[in-house]
Amino acid sequence: MIKALAGIATLLLLWGGIAFAQDSVIVPLTERPVQDEVIVDEPLAAPIPDEDGIQRVAVLRALEKITARVVDIDAPVGVPVAFESLEITVQYCYRRPPEETPETTAFIQISDHRIEEDNGRVFSGWMFASSPALNPLDHATYDVWLIDCRTL
């Protein structure tokens, strides 16, 4: 009797494992369809040079949580850039020289056009590329974090 129950349990496990294996299909990266390129709205104006005359651009990465779409955004300092319903304005961006401990910092303001209170401002603060969870954007649909700061 115990052997019969053990045999039935083994068959059920094998049958369930086969059924589960049939549902999950692994597609190699080379065979995956190419996603449509997402176009981020162009900045409204040219980057504003800082006091040294250098035009800086913050490289941000945005995640749209509903579709899991990831987009890299080049946001010039002082110029609002639109991504979906967000308006992202980088006020300051700085990357330490290579001989120092690597760190990239930016002061970023993000507004959501769908929110009416507080001018739609959902984030205003410093972001650090080395620790994006230190001061994250708290939004139900989007994540935005700092990747790098470069000059034009």
**pTM for the whole structure:** 0.65
Lowest mean pLDDT among 49-58, 69-78, 139-148: 49-58
DSSP 8-state symbol, 34: P
pLDDT of residue 57: 92
- Contact in structure between 146 and 58 (CB atoms under 8 Å): yes
pLDDT of residue 54: 74
Q: Span 43-51, mean pLDDT?
A: 61
The rounded distance, in Å, linking the Cα atoms of 13 and 86 is 49
Q: Pick the residue with more confidence: 139 or 116? A: 139
DSSP 8-state symbol, 77: B
Q: What is the pLDDT of residues 77-91, one digit of tens each?
A: 999 999 988 999 999
CA distances from 41 to 8, 47, 138 (A): 60, 15, 22
DSSP 8-state symbol, 134: S
User: pLDDT band at 7, cuts 50/70/90?
Assistant: low
pLDDT of residue 53: 65
The rounded distance, in Å, linking the Cα atoms of 121 and 117 is 8
Domain ranges for the chain: 2-31, 56-151
The rounded distance, in Å, linking the Cα atoms of 104 and 129 is 5
Q: Pick the residue with more confidence: 35 or 113? A: 113
pLDDT of residue 139: 85
Quote the mean pLDDT of the chain: 75
Parallel, antiparallel, or unpaired for β 142-151 and 104-112?
unpaired
- Contact in structure between 43 and 75 (CB atoms under 8 Å): yes
DSSP three-state, residue 78: coil
The percent of residues above 90 in pLDDT, for the chain, comes to 34
